[in-house]
Amino acid sequence: MDIQWTQLPQIKTLQVYGPTTQSTDGIVYDSRDVQNQFAFFCIIGEETDGHLYIDEAIQNGATTIVGSDKATIEKYVPLHATISFVLVRNSREALAFTAIEFYHHASDKLFKVGVTGTNGKTTVATFVRNLFNLLGLPCGMLGTNGIFTSKEVLHIKKSTPTTPISSDVQAIFSELIKRGDVAAAMEVSSIALDQYRVGGFEFDVAIHTNISEEHMEYHKTFDHYKMCKLRLFTQAKASVVNLDDAGMSKDIIRVVQGSVITYSNNINSDADLIWTNIQHLADGMAFELLYKGQSYQIRIPIYGEYNVGNLVSAIGAALLAKIPLDKILLALPMMEQVDGRFQVIHGPDDRIIVLDYAHTPVALEAIMKAVKKLPHKRLITLITGIGIRDFAKMPKMAKTAEGKTDVIVVSVDHPGDNDPWQVVDAVLKGFRLPYLQEVLTAPSRHGAVNKALKASNPGDIVLLTSGCINGAQIVRGEYIPHSDEDIIHDFFYNSKLSV
């Protein structure tokens, strides 16, 4: 398409050097992806600066360079008279608005549900996708577990672990539309909001799960972390708010402009949706839902009390999509458990293995409390430090788990550029009385899962927390394929080990 760089006022163009219009066949932020007649955006990241790769982008066929470093841009202008050099205030913001134009406003053609919170984003986004699909609204999803249409996984390389960069978001929206989807659920991280990855469009519904300290390696302060999350609710037409979260619910209600549905587990709250009287069953849970003065008895094939709250937030999103409650209630018994989120696997000799992405102290405490309600003899728990995250959080994981389980296996997820043993040692520092339980260590998740399984006896629960991003472990910038489920299957059915 032809892009007139002086005619896109949202981009806040400061100056265009060379041709003001270019025929543009693609927009990218990685110089290695540039092809002929592509626009290359110089994104300044935490570890690199896209302005350093302008030469490579031009050699690969870029006809437009968009950047914010005036001195660097002006060095190239005299050398390339046929190339458009676009100087902008913020390259990330410019990429977001350009992507909307390039993909013909795909974001306006979908009912978009954005989910933010420290814990529960993946579960809630998946519940929204599954519920909307059951209700006849074909819905895709973008998040930690991958990119999905309403029917299948899309094998797209993700630019970030949770929320893709803005041009990828718009490209995915466009692909969902081509495949017949009418809605999209997506996880929206605080970092994504700070980096304009969802800039330039409105969400139809924003969902709030909870807030606790996370991503301090990026935000530096909790106030900045919360401020970034609040941005989602200023760019949403309607919101679903968890009244039980004292950390952020009142702030959200102060900033929202559109419709609001509140939800709570407190029978005495004034929430629109209240869940109570949870019963734990062999095949899931039952609970009572209160809405507009009426009580509804619900049974779901899902485990974990906190997942009732996650499901209720998805119900709120469906109500804001104008779907009648009676139709929603009919779909709930057909909901599925979420991969890696209180995912229950039944092993030999009455062993239960639970996979859960709990990677913060708050989430770890919640999942440990929840699994103890399942019948078991002993509990073996795997906890990790995440090498690509805040080291200050790692000891808190051990402190949270201490004394609440029979065996703890300490390991590392996504060591990144770190020595795995340094990450393990950072976690171990959180133990005050390590002799309260047996403590084992392993420098890789693969080895740690095997150790946890080997430590189990008939009738035990093995809880594997934290885990993969997109089915991989991130090691020195590489995504190494990894599957807990494959390791579990191999251990019990293909291993020579005696269990």
Residue 447 token pair: 């080895």
- Cβ atoms of 491 and 453 within 8 Å: the answer is yes
Residue 386 token pair: 């995440």
CA distance 157 to 171: 12
pLDDT of residue 63: 98
CA distance readout (Å), 273 to 9, 277, 356: 42, 14, 26
- Residue 358 sits in a domain of what CATH number? 3.90.190.20
Boundary (domain end) residue, out of 264, 299, 334: 334
DSSP string for residues in 455-487:
T--TT-EEEEES--BTTEEEETTEEEE--HHHH
The answer to whether position 461 is within a domain reads yes
- Residue 309 sits in a domain of what CATH number? 3.40.1190.10
Which phi and psi angles does 412 have, rounded to 5°? -130, 140
The answer to whether position 97 is within a domain reads no
Same domain (yes/no): 412, 311: no
Same domain (yes/no): 315, 349: no
pLDDT of residue 497: 47
Same domain (yes/no): 170, 311: yes
The answer to whether position 247 is within a domain reads yes
Ordered strands of the 379-386 beta sheet: 343-346, 352-356, 461-465, 379-386, 407-413, 438-441
CA distance 174 to 104: 8
Interstrand relation of 438-441 and 146-148 (parallel, antiparallel or unpaired): unpaired
Assign 306 to helix, strand or coil.
helix
CA distance 407 to 404: 9
Same domain (yes/no): 159, 281: yes
Output DSSP code: residue 248. Answer: T
The answer to whether position 288 is within a domain reads yes
- Cβ atoms of 190 and 215 within 8 Å: the answer is yes
254-305 per-position pLDDT tens digit: 999 899 999 999 999 999 999 999 998 878 999 999 999 999 999 999 988 8
Same domain (yes/no): 224, 367: no
Output DSSP code: residue 434. Answer: G
Nearest residue to 238 (alpha-carbon basis) of 296, 304, 320: 320
For the purposes of burial, counting CB atoms within 10 Å of the CB of 237, is it exposed (0-12), middle (13-18) or buried (19 or more)? middle
**Domain total in the chain:** 3
Boundary (domain end) residue, out of 59, 92, 125: 92
Same domain (yes/no): 348, 329: no
The answer to whether position 214 is within a domain reads yes
The answer to whether position 98 is within a domain reads no
Phi-psi region of 42 (alpha: psi -120 to 50; beta: other; left: phi over 0): beta
Nearest residue to 278 (alpha-carbon basis) of 293, 291, 292, 267: 267
Domain residues for 295?
106-334
The answer to whether position 499 is within a domain reads no
Residue 295 token pair: 């009580």
Output DSSP code: residue 372. Answer: T
pLDDT of residue 498: 40
CA distance 483 to 300: 27
- Does an H or E element contain 488, and which? helix 484-489
Same domain (yes/no): 216, 299: yes
CA distance 325 to 321: 11
All residue ranges of the chain with pLDDT < 50 are 497-499
Nearest residue to 470 (alpha-carbon basis) of 240, 158, 180, 230: 158
CA distance 443 to 430: 17
Same domain (yes/no): 129, 13: no
Same domain (yes/no): 255, 370: no
346 pairs with which residues across the strands? 352
CA distance 347 to 490: 12
The answer to whether position 99 is within a domain reads no
